[in-house]
Amino acid sequence: MTLRRSLPLIPTIVVAFAVLVMIALGMWQLDRRHEKEAALALAAANPARPAVAFPTVPPVPPELLFRPSSIHCLRVVGWQTEAGRAADGSMGYRHIAQCATGAEGPGVLVALGVGQRPDEQPQWQGGQVAGWISEEPDHRSLLSRFGARALPLRPMLIARAAPTALKSLAPPSVEDVPNNHLAYAVQWFFFAAVAATIYVLALRRRNKPPADSP
């Protein structure tokens, strides 16, 4: 006698929901790709535009990214080091000053220049700095960027000239701004396909008729 085998309700709903969510995330990444391309096209022309006031709060809008600007650093309250590229093309360690600009407020990040050692601390104490508006290094995880609570990147000034003992930083370029949304979309579609395939194989194994006993 042939037994009619039905789909397990709860597991099927869970897997179907997960696959739909992953497909939706992939479509969202495709939309984000087009938005990013438009923003980068705008930012590519910004370095040649007139200087503007430095933004004090995140996020940095595309119309201000890479625009010339300046800030006055009252004092340096901390340092951080990241990999970076100098204007002469050499690689090294980018020294970013955490500056106080007043008695209150969030302060300002200033990428001053490139050094050869991560542990060297520039002797720069502050002052007027001219450069280009950029964003702080992005250390957010991929998953955190999908959440509504992901913090936007803070504005950062890339100094046009470096203090003594440091090399000047390379001017900002849209080539340095990652646009990985297509790769993220492909990943989500791949995850959705893998999840659906695994579930179908599991169902086939579950519904396979038992072998006849001798």
Task: Say how far apart CA 48 and CA 45 lie, in whole Å.
Answer: 6
Q: Confirm if 102 and 123 have CB atoms less than 8 A apart.
A: no
pLDDT score of 4 more than 50: no
DSSP label at 86?
B
Chain mean pLDDT for the chain: 84
- pLDDT tens-place string over residues 55-73: 988 889 888 989 999 999 9
How long a stretch of residues is the chain?
214
pLDDT for the residue numbered 3: 38
Give the pLDDT score at 31: 85
38-47, 111-120, 154-163, 187-196: which range is least confident on average?
Answer: 38-47
Rounded CA separation 183/82 (Å): 25
Contact between 159 and 171 under an 8 Å Cβ cutoff? The reply is no
Q: pLDDT of 138-190, one tens digit each?
A: 887 766 665 556 678 899 999 999 988 899 998 887 777 767 778 888 999 99
* Contact indicator for 58, 155 with CB cutoff of 8 Å: yes
Looking at residues 25-47, what average pLDDT do you find?
Answer: 82
pTM greater than 0.85 (yes/no): no
In this predicted structure, the answer to whether residue 29 has a pLDDT above a threshold of 90 is: no
Q: Which residue has the higher pLDDT, 111 or 3?
A: 111
Among 188, 187, 156, which Cα is nearest to 172's?
156
Q: What is the spatial distance between Cα 185 and Cα 62, in angstroms, rounded to a whole number? A: 22
The tens digit of pLDDT for each residue in 187-209 reads 999 999 999 999 988 888 877 76
Give backbone dihedrals phi and psi of 127, rounded to 5 degrees, phi first. Answer: 130, -170
Which token pair is 177? Answer: 């701004």
CB under 8 Å to 31, separation ≥6 — which residues? none
- 105 has a pLDDT exceeding 70: no
Question: How far are the Cα atoms of 106, 123, 155 from residue 77, in angstroms, in the given order?
Answer: 12, 13, 17
C-alpha of 183 from chain center: 14
